[in-house]
Amino acid sequence: MQENENMQEQELDLNQLMKVRREKLEKLKQEGKNPYEITKFDRTHTSKQIIDNYDELEGKDVTVAGRIMAKRIMGKASFVHIQDCDGKIQSYVSINDLGEESYSQFKEDDIGDIVGITGFVFKTRTGEISIHAKELTLLSKSLRPLPEKYHGLKDTDLRYRQRYVDLIVNPEVKDSFIKRTEIIKEIRNILDEKKYLEVETPILNTIAGGASARPFITHHNTLDIDMYLRIATELYLKRLIVGGFDRVYEIGRIFRNEGMDLKHNPEFTSIELYQAYANLEDMMNLTEELVSKTAMKVLGTTKINYQGQEIDLTPSWRKVTMIDAIKEVTGVDFHNIQTDEEAQKVAKENGIEVDPIKTSRGDIIAQFFDEKVEETLIQPTFIYEYPIENSPLAKKDQKDQRMTQRFELFIGGREYANAFSELNDPIDQYERFLDQVKQREAGDDEANMMDTDFVTALEYGMPPTGGMGMGIDRLVMLLTNEASIRDVLLFPTMKPLSDH
């Protein structure tokens, strides 16, 4: 009861404060001082530029702009802290410099208002670099108080829903998003130097292909057909390899109609790249280079701490087959298990509940790995030789036709990248698609659809090709030490709040 009363009181306080702010705005409008009519304000410096270059700027006039985060009114003189894109800086404001009218207006300004300040740079008695204001202009009125005036913005759900407020009151979160941009920029730089061509492929597809995932379905009114938001960029990019581009990549949004957790969001960013005349080993080397060089560029080191785990990203990384990795962790050796029935039996003995539509030896190998091994792979590890059942776009392994030339990269118990020696045999590819269609008909809604145009492209001839895909969001999580994907997405997908 007491908690409900406090919430109601809090809501009344908020409504009253918003009412007061609107009244202040109305008064400004009546006086011909509507801040929303201002269209431009010329800044000369940011807070960081002033602090970093104090010796050069001391005593000189500067103009800054930002949001009022704190005020200390002391009669005819005051101190105010404003926050801009780079940080915070203090300003000394007095009636003698601004004049009575402007100073009175400043005293009415609220926390959250956006102001512009012109004045000279100096240090206070306590040594704080500040601006001695000569002019102060209200540029935008904040009609809603910032949340820390009541209870702070620590609730993660609210932080994700109102990221704009999160960025204001928790400016440290900006760092992860700045690093995100730097990470993507460095990946581009590395690939551009290697003469990869960045391209764009369709987001709306008539077939959901290139991955095992449930798609989002939409409808195109003019064509009167259902379409799918892409679940991968793979099949279009490999068409470009057929067309004669030897090295291509795409960084873009991918959409999968699946569960949401610390590692998954319905839309996310991936990079896929393809290189003609390359194989799985080339992709391993490139993946190592992309991750380690990006870490060095953004963090200055390849030795990181992720959620309490010390991880060394320095090449070269461990390489182990899926079957050998399973044997190391569980003692089960699938080299000695040749039939589906034997695999099902050993799965039951190890407490693995077999999916009724995925009962083959290869399916069970993959499930064994997922449930028993993945979480144990803390240091960077390439797991290779995947079962053909869950690798419909990869070349068969030459030693064992039941396995494929595929690897996934694991770090900190999570998968970060997926790569193939790409299947370029159109006959084999068509048969694999047929098998995937059968799986869909049996109830596997993540199985691939038949893509006859892609098979047609392969029939024209695709050179031996290495391909790799990597989740950008997970890489950003790793390099910023964030536990949740929502902390590296500016606007993660959220369930709408009830109106009631």
In the chain, which stretches have pLDDT less than 50? Answer: 1-9, 149-151, 500
Query: Which tokens sit at 476?
Result: 């950003």
Residue by residue, DSSP assigns 46-83 as -HHHHHHTHHHHBT-EEEEEEEEEEEEEETTEEEEEEE
> Homologous superfamily of 2-152 in CATH?
Nucleic acid-binding proteins (2.40.50.140)
How far apart CA 433 and CA 437 sit, in angstroms, is 6
Positive or negative, the CA dihedral 123, 125, 128, 133 is negative
Q: What is the DSSP letter of 498?
A: P
Alpha-carbon distance of 261 to 484, in angstroms, equals: 8
DSSP letter (8 states) at residue 307: T
264 beta partners = 261
Does residue 478 contact residue 412 with C-beta atoms inside 8 Å?
A: yes
Q: pLDDT at position 500, please? A: 42
First to last CA, the chain: 19
Going from N- to C-terminal start, the domains of the chain cover 2-152, 172-317+379-487
Strand partners, 321: 384
Chain centre to alpha carbon of residue 424: 32
Given this model, what pLDDT does residue 445 score?
Answer: 80
Q: State the pLDDT at residue 348.
A: 93
d(CA 67, CA 111): 8
How long is the chain?
A: 500
Q: Angle at CA 26, nearest 5°, toward 80 and 34?
A: 65
Helix 472-480 / helix 174-193 crossing angle, nearest 10 deg: 120
Fold of 172-317+379-487: BirA Bifunctional Protein; domain 2 (3.30.930)
Question: What does the pLDDT look like over 419-462, one tens digit per residue?
Answer: 999 999 999 999 999 988 998 888 888 888 899 999 999 999 99
pLDDT at 202: 97
Strands 77-84, 197-198: pairing is: unpaired
Specify the amino acid at residue 124.
T
Identity at 202, one-letter amino acid code: P
> In this structure, are residues 402 and 339 in contact, taking their beta carbons and an 8 Å threshold?
no
Q: Is the peptide bond before 316 cis (omega within 30 degrees of 0)?
A: yes
Residues 379 and 409 sit within 8 Å (Cβ to Cβ): no
Cα distance between residue 389 and residue 226, in whole Å = 28
The pLDDT score that the predictor gives to residue 8 is 43
Which of 375, 383, 385 shows the shortest CA–CA distance to 408? 383
- Rounded to whole angstroms, how far apart are CA atoms 477 and 366? 25
- Token pair for residue 373? 């091994």
- For the record, the structure tokens of 65 come out as 């702009």
**pLDDT at res. 212:** 84
| Residue 489 CB partners (closer than 8 Å, separation 6+) | 265, 268, 473
321-334 pLDDT, tens digit each: 999 999 999 999 99
